[in-house]
Chain A
Amino acid sequence: MSEQTLIPSAGSGAARWIGKRVERKEDARLLTGRGQYTDDVVLPGMLHVAFARSTIAHGRITRVETSVAAELPGVHAIYTARELAAQPITMMSFFFTPSEVPITPLAGELVQYVGDPVVMVIAETRAIAEDAVSLIEIDYEELSPVVTIADAMAAAPIHPGTETNVASEIGDEEPEEDLAQALQGAHCLLTQEVVHQRISQAPMENRAILATREGPEELTLYITCQSPHNIARWVSLALGLPQTAIRVIAKDVGGSFGLKNTPWKEECAVICAAMLFGRPLKWTEDRYEALTASNQCREAQMRLSAALDANGRLVASHAVYDCNNGAYPQGADNNIAVHMFLWAAYKMPAYAFLSRGWYTNTNGLAAYRGPWAMESLIRETLLDKAARRLGIDPVEIRRRNLVYLKDQPAVSCMGIPVDDITPGECLEKLVAHFDFAAFRKEQAQAREQSRYLGVGIAAYIEPTGSAGSMVTMTGELAQVRIEPTGRVTAMMSTHSQGHGTATTMAQCIADRLGVAYDDVTVFEGDSSRGGFGPGAAGSRQGVIGGGAAIRASEMLADKVRVLAAHLFNASPESVSIEDGIVHIAGAPEMSRPLGEIANIAYAEPDRLPPGFEAGLEAQFRYQPPPMTLTSAAHLCVVEVDTDTGFVKILRWISSEDCGTVINPGVVEGQISGGLAQAIGMVLLEEMPYDARGNPTAATFKDYLLPAISDVPVFEFIHANTPSKTIGGMRGVGEGGAIIGPPTLVNAIADALSPFGEIEKLVLPLTPARILDIVEQRDVSGFGASHSEMATAPVADAVQEPEAPPPMPENSQEQSAAEARSIDGDWNMVLKTPMGPQPMVVTFATDGAGGVSGMFSSAEGSQAFDGGRLDAGRVRFDLKVEKPMKITLKYDLLIEGDIVSGKCKMGMFGSAKVTGQRA
């Protein structure tokens, strides 16, 4: 604790604020009950909203009766989808692409999950609105619910107009001869299967919105979110209003963890109703709604095969991944990032995969801290299995395969440049802090007394600070001002849902400007107050916001130096700013408080140097590299009670490289929070559905969140190396939730190794599932009630190669296709990992089987030639530069006016193409 309170010593040069464990600026307000969360805001004339929700998972609405509810005193209005449609809204994914399937805020004809909002009541109080909801009658014609991934694979599509329940698909369906041979012919072939349960993000503050129309085309929103700027941008696109017409305020947000990235059905219903009704409307979700009707996350299954040689070196790998998208995901998702980062930190020569997202009649998929975390969980648990199989130490198998600094620069098997990662170095520092030999001795002695201890390790890298590779992810903006008083204020595009950015950004500014931390105030949380940036999403604010704050402050300090040099007839190099005092080297009598210089800068134009812009202000928008990689290795020790199945975590050590640490308290807080969520995922949390699609965890007595008694004290080894960004930071927001699960599972597996392997990892590892392993029989009932992991129609390309794309049969359709020229415009949609991309393709044939043409989309136009047309099949290559240099290989089948086929997108595998003649 001694390092917590810092008083920079005067006269010892500029005080460094970056790296200090200073107290947070946010805390005095939050500790005294003076925070301002959305539900705390009250506006004159405000009314309250409650929703009547679907009680069935899948069905057709046959009758809605609201007349009794409408008569209740205090009820002002009742909306169904039909009335609300008067205010059109285009609901979009996190990537600002329109939803792949139509979504309306209220269900119109079909309900697609239990909790789907059907009717909206507006009343004087929330209590009256809920009373009215209880008086609404809704009848349904029930349809068969599609609940699990296995259901989705077998069932008819839930969304009208779609052909299958595949929401999104990517990967190689073609036979991979070389890969299959490498796998089958290797010394050791291991397979790991993981069935990951569905998780509720469960921020302590539920979703809330207060929407108020200001005139016909302006809107003010108080909303729980991850960035007021991003919400303003999303809502402006969704409503077709200018972005500056939307003001979004989110002073304090009680956690989000990915859930509050974009407004969803209920928030959009409130926005539309506020536009139509003209009174301020508030909806605050209660915990029952949050658990049963909010978007959720994580439900996925994966089978990973990896081959190793006799020395324990990785040879080849293949995976099949499926995830449950629910009915209305915040972007149809096959989770391509799982595959991009699965082996990025390891020397893996060859990898291929198939990845699919499935629509079901359950709550939609949203993000959660490290959405791609399955890759670390399945890889690191597989490596421990391999180590046990081959008789190699778990540390040693990683040493043989990790990409150390000496191996860099390198390129991963998925084409990712790897030149700034340190998972191996983090592992070495971790291992140096733990006496494995002593532990193995203790473990052996304990086993003799029938006590089962285990140690687990894991290593990983994580992409952070994303900017520039997708439309949502812009840079971040810092606007810094030295006021005439000498105090410093900054408007930042960052946003805190607990991140403490008002603290860390102030530290960056104080550090680079040479002023006291207490003299810097950071404003954020209001889209009308400068800024503009995506805020919190993907561990990015420390990296990008920090870089922006640092550079803007350096620019401002330079401005002070130029002015002071002019005023005191000195050189700018001789001017320094320390603790808010401007000094001239060698002339202590000339030292002046910063406020005195600032006053001159604003108010005495005659004293400014020629060409000097009055005032002391600077702004900088930082556009960092597309991503910055963070590395870590963790270790934990557990004791498993083989009588009860309970797991006790005895020790946990984090060794992480998150670059420059702005505030160790904030960094450790982020990692610890992620680790607690990891413990929840491995041992406690589960959002189950019954066979009819009813969510069966409706309270915190059913949905078990980790308490203080479940979470040990975490030990930290900061193994930091600065990154190449301004300031040298690396993102740290998500890491704990990614590295935590495999670390804990490996410790449990090590403890239980005398009983056997965890053949299939089904989360959470409840006491009953632990006893399944201990007793090597089906104690939990999971094995009896659930069959094997659901397999896709094309489940394992290693064994069951997908047939090549359909060849035209010798049929009448084909002759018709041949008979008619394909020349002219075609409207096509390419299903990319970031959503469907519409485009117009113009073909021109030369009559001899040659095809050339033009691609046009919102991103621009591009010509191609050298294509071939053969019996209705068109094949050609298109070289693109954005988002990266890649050759797209199109293989299309044209039947009459319909085109279908696929596009092989280099390392991303294949994506579907559909369309018709324009």
Chain B
Amino acid sequence: MSEYRVEMKVNGRRVAEAVEARTSLGDFLRLKLGYTGVHMGCEHGVCGACTIMVDGRAVRSCLMLAVQAEGSEVLTVEGLADAQDALHPAQDAMRKAHGLQCGFCTPGVVMTLASLCADRRCDEQSMVAAMSGHICRCTGYQGIRRAITMLAAEVGSAGSDT
């Protein structure tokens, strides 16, 4: 199998590893680097559980090869809370709103919401629309909807402050 050397920054840390060309970014993060918060739910880009951020944008790590992330800045759910372990507003809203049950789809949901929070123009409607790309089998999306409402209000008010 053809192996390549890749270098990238993952959760603020530089990594340099040898990787097979066929290895998905998700498998690379899970198996090689131990970021097991990246959950492989379908491995064909539908369920959204494996969503991470690459250079600030939400990406399905099952649909991207590790070699394609060469030189990128990658953020997984493990790197989302700050150094003091204070939850990101997206994580905090999900917790307050009972937005999760089994927690398997949750890292992907949180990463998509976090990437949208970074875009101050993002409103509740567009967050719900983005969430249609995530499958949750447990909650019936009620808590996720409430978390989006809370988060949109927070992002909106933060936006108006600046």
Give residues in A with beta carbon < 8 Å to B: 1, 4-5, 21, 23-24, 26-37, 39-40, 127, 202-205, 252-255, 257, 286-287, 496-500, 665-666, 668-669, 672-677, 699-701, 705-709, 711, 713-714, 736
Contact A287 B41 (CB under 8 A): yes
- Given A30-B106, A668-B142, A701-B44, is A204 in contact with B49 using a C-beta cutoff of 8 Å? yes
Contact B103 A711 (CB under 8 A): no
A residues near B146, Cβ cutoff 8 Å: 1
Contact A699 B77 (CB under 8 A): no
B114 to A: closest C-beta gap in Å? 11
Give Cα A40–Cα B40 distance, bound, in whole angstroms: 11
Give Cα A701–Cα B44 distance, bound, in whole angstroms: 9
- Is B68 on the interface with A (CB-CB < 8 A)? no
B2-10, B53-61, B92-100 - interface stretch: B92-100
From DSSP, what is the main secondary structure of chain B's interface residues? loop
Contact B44 A498 (CB under 8 A): no
Give Cα A23–Cα B147 distance, bound, in whole angstroms: 13
- Chain A residue with the shortest CB-CB distance to B95: A27
Looking at A27, A668, A709, which has the most chain B CB atoms within 10 Å of its CB? Answer: A27
Given contacts A24-B100, A31-B95, A707-B133, 19 further A-B contacts (CB under 8 A): A23-B98, A28-B87, A33-B36, A33-B38, A34-B78, A35-B37, A35-B103, A127-B20, A202-B137, A204-B47, A204-B49, A204-B137, A205-B39, A254-B102, A255-B101, A286-B43, A708-B136, A709-B129, A711-B140
CB 8 Å contact bits of B117-149 with A (1 = contact, 0 = none): 000000000001101111111111111111000
A residues near B144, Cβ cutoff 8 Å: 708
Contact B102 A665 (CB under 8 A): no
B residues near A497, Cβ cutoff 8 Å: 102
Give Cα A254–Cα B104 distance, bound, in whole angstroms: 5
Q: Name 20 interchain pairs, CB-CB below 8 A, sorted by A.
A: A1-B150, A24-B95, A27-B94, A28-B95, A30-B100, A32-B80, A33-B107, A204-B49, A255-B101, A255-B137, A286-B43, A497-B102, A498-B103, A500-B101, A668-B142, A673-B140, A676-B140, A705-B135, A705-B137, A708-B141
- Is B161 on the interface with A (CB-CB < 8 A)? no
A residues near B37, Cβ cutoff 8 Å: 32-35
B34 to A: closest C-beta gap in Å? 8
- Given A28-B95, A31-B95, is A37 in contact with B104 using a C-beta cutoff of 8 Å? yes
A residues near B134, Cβ cutoff 8 Å: 707-708
A539 to B: closest C-beta gap in Å? 15
B residues near A29, Cβ cutoff 8 Å: 103
Specify which of A30, A674, A705 is in contact with B103 (CB 8 Å cutoff): A30
- Given A28-B95, A205-B104, A257-B137, is A33 in contact with B142 using a C-beta cutoff of 8 Å? no
Give Cα A28–Cα B37 distance, bound, in whole angstroms: 13
Give Cα A746–Cα B94 distance, bound, in whole angstroms: 34
Give Cα A40–Cα B133 distance, bound, in whole angstroms: 24
Contact B91 A31 (CB under 8 A): yes
A-facing residues in B56-110 (Cβ within 8 Å): 76-78, 80-81, 85, 87, 91, 94-98, 100-107, 110
Contact B140 A700 (CB under 8 A): no
- Chain A residue with the shortest CB-CB distance to B111: A33
Contact B94 A204 (CB under 8 A): no
Contact A713 B142 (CB under 8 A): yes
Give Cα A329–Cα B28 distance, bound, in whole angstroms: 37
Specify which of B43, B76, B91 is in contact with A287 (CB 8 Å cutoff): B43
B residues near A36, Cβ cutoff 8 Å: 36
Contact B132 A707 (CB under 8 A): yes
From DSSP, what is the main secondary structure of chain A's interface residues? loop
- Number of B interface residues, CB 8 Å? 58
Give residues in B with beta carbon < 8 Å to A: 20, 22-23, 30, 35-44, 46-47, 49, 76-78, 80-81, 85, 87, 91, 94-98, 100-107, 110, 128-129, 131-146, 150
Contact A204 B104 (CB under 8 A): yes
- Given A33-B36, A668-B142, is A673 in contact with B96 using a C-beta cutoff of 8 Å? no
Give Cα A561–Cα B30 distance, bound, in whole angstroms: 51
A residues near B141, Cβ cutoff 8 Å: 672, 676, 707-708, 711
Looking at B47, B135, B144, which has the most chain A CB atoms within 10 Å of its CB? Answer: B135
Contact A669 B135 (CB under 8 A): no
B residues near A714, Cβ cutoff 8 Å: 140, 142
Contact A673 B81 (CB under 8 A): no
- Chain A residue with the shortest CB-CB distance to B23: A127
B residues near A23, Cβ cutoff 8 Å: 95-96, 98
Looking at B20, B80, B104, B136, which has the most chain A CB atoms within 10 Å of its CB? Answer: B104
Give Cα A24–Cα B97 distance, bound, in whole angstroms: 10
B residues near A666, Cβ cutoff 8 Å: 98
- Given A32-B77, A252-B102, is A672 in contact with B140 using a C-beta cutoff of 8 Å? yes
Contact B139 A673 (CB under 8 A): yes
B105 to A: closest C-beta gap in Å? 5
- Given A30-B100, A31-B100, is A701 in contact with B137 using a C-beta cutoff of 8 Å? no
B residues near A204, Cβ cutoff 8 Å: 39, 41, 47, 49, 102, 104-105, 135-138
- Given A31-B94, A31-B100, is A672 in contact with B139 using a C-beta cutoff of 8 Å? yes
B45 to A: closest C-beta gap in Å? 9
Give Cα A40–Cα B31 distance, bound, in whole angstroms: 9
Give Cα A500–Cα B102 distance, bound, in whole angstroms: 8
B residues near A705, Cβ cutoff 8 Å: 135, 137
Contact A40 B36 (CB under 8 A): yes
- Given A204-B135, A255-B102, is A32 in contact with B95 using a C-beta cutoff of 8 Å? no
Looking at B36, B43, B49, B129, which has the most chain A CB atoms within 10 Å of its CB? Answer: B36
B residues near A665, Cβ cutoff 8 Å: 98, 143
B residues near A37, Cβ cutoff 8 Å: 36, 39, 104
Contact A127 B22 (CB under 8 A): yes
Looking at B46, B87, B143, which has the most chain A CB atoms within 10 Å of its CB? Answer: B46
Give Cα A717–Cα B129 distance, bound, in whole angstroms: 28
Give Cα A32–Cα B105 distance, bound, in whole angstroms: 12
A740 to B: closest C-beta gap in Å? 10
